[in-house]
Structure 1
Amino acid sequence: MFSDKANKLFQEVIEKYHVINTVDQSFENPYDRNSHLIEHLLYRKCWIDTVQWHYEDIIRDPNIEPVAALTLKRQIDASNQDRTDMVEYIDSYFLEKYKEVVPHNNATINTESPAWAIDRLSILALKIFHMHEEATREEASQDHRNACQKKLDVLLEQRIDLSTALDQLLSDIASGDKYMKVYKQMKMYNDDELNPVLRAANK
């Protein structure tokens, strides 16, 4: 199943990141783009998500200096753009993969594309990793660990459900029971012509 591959790879990424566990560490993709394209894309996608997870932790420091916070906010904005770009690259992979499939006359469209479901699965892997840390943190109280274990159990169940739904979606697309229709991003706040503040600043 595709979700098995994705979940295993996401775990690989998250564990690799936490060896050094700093947001400014160098990135190296072990999967060659030409011979292992989907693995390459999934690895990069989860790395972006993992770094951004830790950006979000850092920026919530109540003692962070304003200049540092602004710099970090710019990094988070750039990371969000990278994240959205990667979702589109992954959807392009599936569009190419299933381009010869002729949808049935009664085929339906899904509420989200495969790549956005994969995006949710990547974030879920991060939630599971960090909730497990909290559920097993020795210096935490037993009440804290118990509460986190209950949340972890829910997250693990959610991963099973989301993985099943993703695999079913891909199966339905492959069989023609569903069809893909991808809308490219139309973000306005990063566009010099569409964001009035950026437009004014560039005059």
Structure 2
Amino acid sequence: MLLDSRTIIQQVSDLHATTVERWHHQPLNNPYTGLLAVVCQQHQFNFQLWHQEDLARCPEATDQKIAEVKRAIDGFNQQRNDYIERTDETLVEMLASAGVLPSGDATLNTETPGSAIDRLSIMALRVYHLEEELERPEVDDAHRQRVTEKLRRCRIQRADLSGSLEELLSDVFTGRKLLRVYRQMKMYNDPTLNPAVYGTKRAG
């Protein structure tokens, strides 16, 4: 994949939208290669996480079901964060392959491209499900008006985020910005760092 920020943003946006639509009707799949394969896998974890979060809030869910869903949420969220890091790692590898080095006065950004792509993934899911709400036959006009306003705001936010990410990637690809991989280091999923886990084992 060429280091072209505009092309990458367009491809990522298309991937997010088309897969969200497809996965609601067909099994999860990942037909992509390179950076897009990583982006697609990260998007899958968000897709699965989204629907588990819905299940967790079902009024009829039993305590056992909620516990099962909570464990699934923890797993998907860990994988989601792992693949945010993997997205940034892949971009670093692409920079190295292209021989791009940061300039002497290159600065860091407060958010990595992987984190911004994660936010775009979630926005694609939000837009899809809001659009679904407009098709519900049993809702009234007031509901549709509220959803329409939310959709309008989401589309503005998505456009703003896409534009900012395109600028960031352009700066990274030309060496004006540094790209570092920041580890999430989630302690609650590490049995050696979560006292509720290792404390129980020690007490036993």
Cα distance, 1:86 vs. partner? Answer: 0.9
Matched, 1:152 2:181: no
Q: Tell me the distance in 2 between the aligned counterparts of 1:185 and 1:61.
A: 30
**How many residue pairs end up in the alignment?**
194
Matched, 1:77 2:77: no
Matched, 1:39 2:36: yes
Identity level (%): 38
What is the TM-score when the length of structure 1 is the normalising length? 0.90
What is the TM-score when the length of structure 2 is the normalising length? 0.90
Q: Greater relative contact order (Cα 8 A, min sep 6): structure 1 or 2?
A: 2
| Residues 91 and 114 in structure 1, CA contact (< 8 A), matched pair in contact too | yes
Q: In the TM superposition, what whole-angstrom CA distance separates every residue of 1:19-41 from its partner, at most 9, and x where no partner exists?
A: 15xxxxx533222xxxx211211
Q: In the TM superposition, what whole-angstrom CA distance separates every residue of 1:149-183 from its partner, at most 9, and x where no partner exists?
A: 11101111111111111111010001111111222
**Number of the residue aligned with 1:50:** 47
Which segments of 5 or more consecutive residues in structure 1 lack a partner in the other structure? 21-25
Report the residue type matching 1:48 in the other structure.
Answer: F
Report the residue type matching 1:160 in the other structure.
Answer: A
**Number of the residue aligned with 1:94:** 91
Cα distance, 1:50 vs. partner? Answer: 1.0
| Residues 192 and 202 in structure 1, CA contact (< 8 A), matched pair in contact too | no
Matched, 1:59 2:60: no
Q: How does 1:16-31 map to 2 (within 5 A)?
A: 16-19=22-25, 27-31=28-32
**Number of the residue aligned with 1:187:** 186
Q: Tell me the distance in 2 between the aligned counterparts of 1:5 and 1:27.
A: 19
Matched, 1:9 2:10: no
Q: Tell me the distance in 2 between the aligned counterparts of 1:9 and 1:102.
A: 29
Cα distance, 1:104 vs. partner? Answer: 2.0
Q: In the TM superposition, what whole-angstrom CA distance separates every residue of 1:73-97 from its partner, at most 9, and x where no partner exists?
A: 0000000011011111111101111
**Number of the residue aligned with 1:104:** 103
Which segments of 5 or more consecutive residues in structure 2 lack a partner in the other structure? 1-5
| Residues 107 and 178 in structure 1, CA contact (< 8 A), matched pair in contact too | yes
Cα distance, 1:147 vs. partner? Answer: 1.3
**Number of the residue aligned with 1:23:** none
Q: Tell me the distance in 2 between the aligned counterparts of 1:171 and 1:108.
A: 13
Q: Tell me the distance in 1 between the aligned counterparts of 2:133 and 2:51.
A: 15
Q: 1:62 is paired with a residue of what secondary structure? A: coil
Cα distance, 1:105 vs. partner? Answer: 2.4
Give me the CA root mean square deviation.
1.4
